[in-house]
């Protein structure tokens, strides 16, 4: 449970996605509870969908401000249900989930290194009709000399229910200290379905035949094209706190997702 002030009036920063529904909700809440500047707030309420939640987390990454999402979008896996009543009461009993992002270090064709953080996943994707060829090293040891595929991704536990799940990767519970690595349309070896790595693993993905088979790397919303190699590791020095209604926490949602048919 978060350590929030007893009186939250004027201590909540309301942020809204650029949609009519979210903006209307923001106007309603600010009229009732005031509206703090994010740098002075005790908690942030994000009004939108999962994409807006990720944008909000990226915006305040490093400050560890607790963020409570209310779904004004479509899927809303990372959000709480939208109810306009008793927001302070919901915040007072909310349960917290602490997440750590992935740090991507991508080297492009010019030798330039680009760094970015990912809350969901770091993915490598072929840029042309040619399948990618990728060498996989974990903690400096070669684990697969050549993977021919459309791409590959490394996900956080929270992100394991997103693109990773769509690529038939495993769902990982929070607190498992595991990172799923999942191929995207693997051609050779055809039956390889990926791996579960310890959360402190350092993954190095090297692009083979890059001139013929160009590959892009994507960390959430940051894309680096024509890469030569990508290092991925969990950044334990950064953390994010997300707030959820009791009995609907992120851990419960991840478990429930595994039984959805």
Closest CA to 106 of 50, 159, 154, 171: 154
Report if residue 27 sits inside a domain. yes
* Pair (44, 167) in one structural domain: no
Q: What is the mean pLDDT of residues 222-239?
A: 96
Report d(CA 99, CA 24) in Å as an integer.
Answer: 30
- The mean-pLDDT minimum among 39-43, 76-80, 160-164 falls in 76-80
Report if residue 5 sits inside a domain. no
State percent of the chain over pLDDT 70: 97
* Pair (17, 135) in one structural domain: no
Report if residue 123 sits inside a domain. yes
Report if residue 249 sits inside a domain. yes
What token pair was written down for 175?
């607190």
Q: E strand or H helix at 138, and its extent?
A: strand 132-138
Per-residue pLDDT tens digits for 70-94:
999 877 778 999 998 999 999 989 9
Report if residue 154 sits inside a domain. yes
Q: Is 13 annotated as a binding residue?
A: no
- The mean-pLDDT minimum among 97-111, 138-152, 164-178, 210-224 falls in 164-178
Q: Is 65 annotated as a binding residue?
A: no
Report d(CA 136, CA 148) in Å as an integer.
Answer: 11
Q: Is 161 annotated as a binding residue?
A: yes
* Pair (200, 248) in one structural domain: no
**Burial level of 178, CB count in 10 A (0-12/13-18/19+)?**
middle
Q: Is 162 annotated as a binding residue?
A: yes
Q: Is 221 annotated as a binding residue?
A: no
Q: Is 68 annotated as a binding residue?
A: no
* Pair (71, 22) in one structural domain: yes
**Burial level of 151, CB count in 10 A (0-12/13-18/19+)?**
buried
| Residue 200 a catalytic site member | no
- Residue 163 · residue 155 · CB < 8 Å: yes
Give pLDDT, residue 3.
66
Q: What is the mean pLDDT of residues 13-36?
A: 94
Report d(CA 153, CA 163) in Å as an integer.
Answer: 9
Q: Is 108 annotated as a binding residue?
A: no
Q: What is the mean pLDDT of residues 149-166?
A: 93
* Pair (146, 45) in one structural domain: no
* Pair (70, 148) in one structural domain: no
Q: Is 51 annotated as a binding residue?
A: yes
* Pair (171, 196) in one structural domain: yes
Q: What is the mean pLDDT of residues 20-27?
A: 96
CATH number of the domain where residue 92 is located: 3.40.50.10330
* Pair (213, 118) in one structural domain: yes
Report if residue 4 sits inside a domain. no
Q: Is 168 annotated as a binding residue?
A: no
Out of 35, 50, 139, 245, the active site residue is 50
- Residue 11 · residue 2 · CB < 8 Å: no
Q: Phi, psi at residue 191, to the nearest 5°?
A: -95, 5
* Pair (95, 107) in one structural domain: no
* Pair (43, 93) in one structural domain: yes
Report if residue 144 sits inside a domain. yes
Report if residue 2 sits inside a domain. no
* Pair (110, 179) in one structural domain: yes
Q: How many domains does the chain have?
A: 2
The domain of 24 spans 12-100+239-257
* Pair (123, 191) in one structural domain: yes
Confidence of residue 15 (pLDDT cuts 50, 70, 90): very high
Q: Encode 231-260: b = buried (16+ Cβ within 10 Å), e = exposed.
A: bbbbeeeeebbbbbeeeebbbebbeeeeee
pLDDT at 207 over 90: yes
CATH number of the domain where residue 135 is located: 2.60.200.30
Give pLDDT, residue 145.
97
């Amino acid at each position: 449970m978060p350590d929030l002030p007893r009186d939250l009036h004027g201590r909540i920063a309301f942020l809204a996605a650029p949609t009519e529904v979210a903006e209307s909700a923001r106007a309603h809440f600010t009229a009732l509870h005031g509206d703090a500047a994010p740098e002075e707030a005790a908690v942030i309420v994000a009004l939108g969908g999962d994409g807006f939640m990720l944008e909000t987390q990226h915006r305040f990454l490093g400050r560890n401000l607790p963020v409570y999402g209310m779904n004004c979008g479509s899927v809303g896996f990372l959000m709480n249900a939208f109810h306009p009543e008793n927001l302070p009461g919901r915040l007072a009993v909310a349960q917290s989930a602490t997440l750590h992002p992935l740090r991507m270090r991508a080297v492009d064709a010019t030798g330039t290194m680009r760094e970015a953080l990912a809350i969901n996943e770091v993915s490598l994707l072929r840029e042309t009709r040619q399948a990618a060829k990728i060498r996989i090293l974990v903690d400096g040891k070669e684990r697969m000399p050549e993977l021919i595929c459309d791409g590959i991704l490394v996900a956080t536990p929270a992100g394991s229910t997103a693109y990773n799940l769509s690529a038939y990767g495993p769902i990982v519970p929070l607190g498992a200290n595991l990172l799923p690595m999942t191929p995207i349309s693997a051609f050779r070896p055809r039956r390889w379905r990926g791996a579960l790595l310890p959360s402190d693993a350092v993954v190095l993905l090297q692009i083979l035949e890059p001139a013929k088979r160009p590959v892009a790397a994507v960390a959430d919303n940051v894309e680096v094209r024509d890469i030569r190699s990508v290092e991925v590791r969990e950044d334990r020095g950064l953390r994010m706190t997300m707030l959820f209604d009791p009995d609907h926490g992120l851990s419960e949602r991840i478990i429930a997702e595994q039984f959805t048919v």
